[in-house]
Amino acid sequence: MDMRSPGAKSPYRIFSRGEWAKLRADTPMTLSEAEVEQLRSVDDPVDLREVEQIYLPISRLLALYVEATQGLYNATRAFLNTNGAKVPYIIGIGGSVAVGKSTTARLLQALLARWPNTPKVDLVTTDGFLLPNAVLEEEGLMQRKGFPESYDLPALLGFMSDIKAGKRRVSAPVYSHLTYDVVPGGEVVVDRPDILILEGLNVLQAGTARSGKAMPFVSDFFDFSVYIDAEEALIHDWYVHRFLHLRETAFRDPQSYFQRYAALPASDALQLAEGLWDRINLPNLRDNILPTRGRASLVLRKAADHRVEEVALRKL
Ligand SMILES: Nc1ncnc2c1ncn2[C@@H]1O[C@H](COP(=O)(O)OP(=O)(O)O)[C@@H](O)[C@H]1O
Ligand SMILES: CC(C)(COP(=O)(O)O)[C@@H](O)C(=O)NCCC(=O)O
C-alpha cells in the first residue's frame, strides 16, 4: 500500500505535516528544550518544534483513546460487578533499524506521563527477547539478528500476556547495544503501569515460533500501534552515518562489541556498516518489517531531515 496515494478505500486518513500540527489544539507543551535533547538518540535532530507539531497531537489523541478504553474497562467491571486488576493500555512502536523508534518511544513516554490519568508509563524494548549471541552462533543465526527467528517469541508473548492480565511485577530481559548481547541476569520490572510502550522491529509481525508453529501476534495485545516509515535509501544513510558516529564514541568503550573496529580507517568502517546493512538490516526491512506497516494504527513518514512530513491515521 502506498501511503501517499491512498485510494478512497484506504483504511487511513492522511495528514500533511501542517494539517496534523493543527490537531494539537490547546494541548500544553510539557517538555523543555533540555528534556527533548536528553530524550533524543544519537544523530536524531528532533527539537521542540517537532514535538509541538507532531508529538503533541499524538499525545492528545492517545490521551483521548486511553480515557475511552479505561471507560470501557470500567463498564465491563460494572457489568460483571467485580473489582478486576487495572489493565495497562499497550502501545507498540515498530519500524526499521535506525529509523528513530527509540526517540519516538521516549518522547511519547515523557509526554503521556504528564497527563493526569496516566502518570505511570513504562517502556520496554523487544531486543531483550533476542536469543543470546551464544545461541544465535550455535544455530547459525548471527547474521539474522533482528529477524523473527532470532527472538524468543514465546517468552515475549508470555510477557505481554502477563501484562494484559494485570499481573504485578512482570519482568523482561535486557539487551545491551554496547556488548551487542542480552545482559546475563539483567531484567526490567514492569509493575502495573497505566501505559506500557513496547518498541522494536518486530512488534507488528505475524506470530510464528522458531519451531514453525503458528502463535498469537504480539500486536494482539496492543491497544494502539505506531509504524515509523521512511524511504529505504534514507534509512540506509541514517544507519551508516550513525555507525560512523558511534565509531568515534560508543565503539571506543573497552566493553563495546565493536571496539575492535574503532581503530579501523573510516573507509573500512564504512564498508563494515554497508555490509551489516546489506546483509542483515535491509533484507529484514524488506521481508519482515515493511510488510507490517499496513497493520499500524498510525504511520509517521519521515523526510531526509528526519522530520515527519506526513501522518496516516487508521480510520477505526
Ligand atoms: N552499536 C551500537 N552501539 C551503541 N548504541 C547503539 C548501537 N546501535 C544502535 N544503538 C542505539 O540503540 C538504539 C536503538 O537503535 P535501533 O534498534 O537501530 O532503533 P532506532 O534507531 O529505530 O531507535 C538507538 O538509540 C541507537 O542510537
Ligand atoms: C538489536 C536490534 C536487532 C534491534 O532490536 P529491537 O529492539 O528492535 O528488537 C538491532 O539494533 C541490531 O543489532 N541488528 C543487527 C544488525 C546490526 O548490527 O545492525
Question: pLDDT tens across 255-281, in order?
Answer: 999 898 888 888 999 999 999 999 999
- Nearest atom in ligand 1 to 239's CA: 18
Predicted TM-score (pTM) of the model is: 0.95
CA-146 nearest atom, ligand 2: 3
The closest residue, in CA terms, to atom 9 on ligand 1 is 177
State the distance from the centre of ligand 1 to the C-alpha of 277, rounded, in angstroms: 13
163 domain-assigned: yes
Q: Which whole number is the average pLDDT over 219-247?
A: 96
Nearest to 186, CA basis, from 200, 172, 198: 172
- Which residue has the CA at smallest separation from atom 17 of ligand 1? 97
Average pLDDT of the chain, as a whole number = 93
Categorize the per-residue pLDDT at 6 as very low, low, confident or very high, splitting at 50, 70 and 90: low
| Region of 25 on the Ramachandran plot (φ > 0 left; ψ -120 to 50 alpha; else beta) | left
Instruction: Give the per-residue pLDDT at 1.
Output: 45
pLDDT at res. 123: 98
291 part of a folded domain: yes
Cell of 221: 495485545
* pLDDT of the residue at 83: 83
Mean pLDDT of 159-173: 96
State yes or no: pLDDT of 211 exceeds 90: no
Could you tell me which of 291, 312, 292 has the C-alpha nearest to residue 300? Answer: 312
Nearest CA to ligand 1 atom 6: 177
- Counting from 1 in the atom list of ligand 2, the atom nearest the Cα of 281 is 16
CA angle 286, 289, 292 (to 5 degrees): 115
Write the CATH number for 280: 3.40.50.300
Cα of 83 vs centre of ligand 1, distance in Å, is: 41
Is residue 3 domain-resident? no
The protein residue whose alpha carbon is closest to atom 5 in ligand 1 is 177
Rounded distance from Cα 192 to ligand 2 centre (Å): 27
For 212-222, write each residue's pLDDT tens digit. Answer: 788 889 999 99
232 pLDDT tier (thresholds 50, 70, 90): very high
Counting ligand 2 atoms within 8 A of each CB, the residue from 41, 93, 97, 247 with the most, and so the one to mutate, is 97
CA 313 to chain CA centroid, Å, is: 17
The domain in which residue 299 lies consists of 12-314
Residue range 96-136, pLDDT digits in tens: 999 999 999 999 999 999 999 888 999 999 999 999 999 99
Residue 6 lies in a domain: no
Q: Is residue 287 part of a domain?
A: yes
Least confident window among 74-83, 193-202, 296-305: 74-83
**What's the number of CA atoms in the CB half-sphere (13 Å) around residue 201?**
26
> Residue 4 above 70 pLDDT?
no
The predicted pLDDT at position 8 comes to 66
Number of domains in the chain: 1
Asked if the structure places residue 106 within a domain, the reply is yes
Tell me whether residue 63 is in a domain.
yes
Q: Is 95 annotated as a binding residue?
A: yes
The answer to the question of residue 7 being in a domain is no
